[in-house]
Amino acid sequence: MRKNLFLLTALLFSTPVLLQAQKTKKPMNIIYILSDDHRYDFMGFTGAVPGLQTPGMDKMAKEGAHLKNAFVTTSLCSPSRASILTGQYAHTHTVVDNSAPMPTDLMFYPQYLQKKGYKTAFMGKWHMGNNGDEPQKGFDEWVSFADQGKYYGNLLNINGKREQMPADNYITDELTLRAEKWMSSVKDKPFAMYLSHKGVHSEFMPAKRHDGKYKELPVISPQSMYLTVTDSSKQYGVVTAPRTTVNYKDIPKWVREQRYSWHGVDYMYHGQIPFDNFYHLYLETLQAIDESIQSVLKWVEDNGLKENTMVVYMGDNGFLFGEHGLIDKRNAYEESMRVPLLVWAPGMVKAGSVIPQMILNIDLAPTFLEIAGIEKPTQMQGQSFLPLLKGENIAWRDKVFYEYYWEQAFPQTPTTYAVRSDKYKYIAYNGIWDINELYDIEKDPYEMNNLIRNKDFDKIGLQLRNDLNDWLEKTNGLQIPLKKQQGRRFDNLYRGTY
């Protein structure tokens, strides 16, 4: 009797405490930091670039989670950004290139967060569906610039009013300061910050304090850099010998020819900059992005918000530095479609987590909504990876799909579709007389041995092709969403750059 009375008394007194704890549990703030053209492995902790220092990214990986197999579904600014905001593939949201108009009926994840009571802000490069700087739906606070903007002295659109910044204001620093100022003004409410940096988009320009920091750092050429030529007069840095079988015969013709073009290592940007300078300026421009991350993390800690804030860092697409003789992105090679993805949330994510599952940019929106307690809308095609961040063992995708649509402005890269599993990748090209590609990326991570003609892999290739076609059919992607072409004329005499 006394035992039962004790239990009843304990329950009566503990229930209000539990209810009060539930009431006082604060919603998670969301800070999403996006960089431009940052490839997946150029971070200090990966060791891919000996000597590269990124203490902010390293801190996120050490104290949070590194999602080491993150991909975009289209490796190009506008389509990728639209996929991040909508949770949809490019053929669904139809922002298929950097000038395609944005449909007016698209729903962005911040709109749902607003309805849930979140304060929302966008700071930085929009560049999605148009080249303007006008405020967009879903954001209470807006700071942006037209088109690509400039590294110094931008004309900013601040909540609909344009303001010229001083000539020595570096855009990465400018955006970070404004983001922190706004967060300080709303920190007593749940908030979602989208900090969208211009860096590290070409043409690279580091902050003055970082100019020349890496000019003596050795350039390490990727193994596939010289496969498209038997003898090149342009060789940069340390050239490592391939450690896998190389199939010279089955390198696609478009890859060979693009080598001497705007996006090829032997005539990059029509000879405007040497490759080694290009490489060093990229690393130096990246430094301010890392400092932005450091500053944001410090702001969260200083304001006592560690336990209910998630900071996510990601690149909008990858970037090649000589792989297959190419620079830039667009294609379906690993360095183009893979991106860095780090999550720092001390109140939720176990420090030092490494998540191997394949994550897509279309997964960001569903994840942010689940964090806020919002059910995923039916039109979103991604899936929340919040359970993975929490260490839960759940079923997950075993393949990812990729699409890129030919652009008039940069016709060197054809319309491309791809499907990738943990072991194989199949790449198909549309509208050109050329060879498709099949790689065993487990044994051949640098994609140098095209297996498409190898009879031993016929079954695998056919299955992946069927998987790709099934995906397009199920997601209504069998018709290419053509858009009205804009911009200057191009002339094939200049290998298709304008």
pLDDT at 497: 40
pTM recorded for the entire structure: 0.92
Under 8 Å between Cβ of 83 and 73: yes
Token digits of residue 407 = 């652009």
**For the residues 58-66, what does the mean pLDDT come to?**
98
Asked if pLDDT for residue 293 goes beyond 50, the answer is yes
Q: Which residues pair with 52 in a beta bridge?
A: none
Bond into 300 cis (ω within 30): no
Average pLDDT, the chain: 91
Q: What is the mean pLDDT of residues 32-49?
A: 97
Q: What is the mean pLDDT of residues 153-164?
A: 97
At 220, which helix (H) or strand (E)? strand 220-221
Query: What is the radius of gyration, based on Cα positions, of the chain?
Result: 24
pLDDT for res 229: 59
Residues in the chain, total: 498
Domain borders along the chain are 27-226+274-405
Work out the average pLDDT over 38-52: 97
The residue with greater pLDDT, 358 or 271, is: 358
Distance between alpha carbon 478 and the CA centroid of its chain, in Å?
25
| Among 25-29, 91-95, 256-260, 476-480, the range of highest mean pLDDT | 91-95
Buried (b) or exposed (e) across 217-240, using 16+ Cβ within 10 A? bebbbbbbbbbbbeeeebebbeee
Query: What is the predicted pLDDT for the residue at 220?
Result: 83
- Evaluate if residue 4 carries a pLDDT over 70: no
Question: What is the reported pLDDT for 20?
Answer: 40
Enclosing H/E stretch for 31: strand 29-35
DSSP-derived letter for residue 185 is H
Residue-wise pLDDT for 66-75, tens only, equals 999 999 999 9
Asked if residue 120 lies in contact with residue 92, where contact means CB atoms within 8 angstroms, the answer is no
Q: What's the pLDDT band for 101 if we cut at 50, 70, 90?
A: confident
Compute how many other C-beta atoms are within 10 angstroms of the C-beta atom of residue 477. Answer: 19
- Give tens-digit pLDDT for 422-441: 999 999 999 999 999 999 99
Any idea which of 3-12, 14-23, 118-127, 335-344 has the lowest mean pLDDT?
14-23
Whether residue 181 is predicted with pLDDT greater than 80 in this model: the reply is: yes
Question: What beta strand segments (E) does 27-139 contain?
Answer: 29-35, 65-67, 70-71, 119-124
How much is the pLDDT for 230? 52
Q: Give residue 78's pLDDT.
A: 96
**Between these two residues, 98 and 490, which has the higher pLDDT value?**
98
- Quote the distance between the C-alpha of residue 111 and its chain's center: 21
Q: How confident is the model at residue 493 (pLDDT cuts 50, 70, 90)?
A: very low
Task: For tokens 């991604």, name the residue.
Answer: 382
Q: Assign 96 to helix, strand or coil.
A: coil
22 pLDDT band, cuts 50/70/90, is very low
Quote the tokens at residue 11: 């329950």
Quick one: pLDDT at residue 19? 37
Please state, as a whole number, how many other Cβ atoms lie within 10 Å of the Cβ of residue 161.
8
**According to the model, what pLDDT value does residue 243 have?**
66
Is the pLDDT reported for residue 87 higher than 50? yes
Q: Are 362 and 381 in contact (CB under 8 A)?
A: yes
Transcribe 144-177 into DSSP letters.
E-STT--SBS-EEEETTEEEEPPTT-BHHHHHHH
Query: With 60 as the cut, is the pLDDT of residue 490 above it?
Result: no
Peptide bond into 238 cis (omega under 30): no
How many other CB atoms sit within 10 Å of the CB of residue 245? Answer: 11
Q: What percent of the chain has pLDDT over 90?
A: 82
Tokens representing 449 are 């041995």
Phi/psi of residue 496, each to 5°?
75, 45
Helices (H), 340-482: 364-371, 386-389, 458-474
Q: Which residue has the higher pLDDT, 20 or 396?
A: 396
The C-alpha atoms of residue 121 and residue 143 are separated, in whole angstroms, by: 8
Give CA separation, 446 vs 6, 322, 458, in Å. 67, 12, 21
Residue 237 has pLDDT above 80, yes or no: no
* CA neighbor of 275 nearest in space, from 266, 283, 284: 266
Q: Which residue has the higher pLDDT, 487 or 177?
A: 177
Superfamily of domain 27-226+274-405: Alkaline Phosphatase, subunit A (3.40.720.10)
In this prediction, residue 33 carries a pLDDT of 99
Which pLDDT band holds residue 12 (cuts at 50, 70, 90)? very low
Query: What is the reported pLDDT for 235?
Result: 63
Please tell me the predicted confidence (pLDDT) of residue 228: 64
Identify the pLDDT of residue 154.
96
Mean pLDDT of the region 165-177: 98
- Look at residues 424, 481, 445 and name the one whose alpha carbon lies nearest to residue 436: 424
pLDDT band, very low/low/confident/very high, at 485 (cuts 50, 70, 90) = low
* DSSP collapsed to 3 states, 187-199: CCCCEEEEEECCC
Residue-level pLDDT at 244: 76
- Band of the pLDDT at 482, cuts 50, 70, 90? confident
Give tens-digit pLDDT for 127-149: 887 778 999 999 999 999 999 99
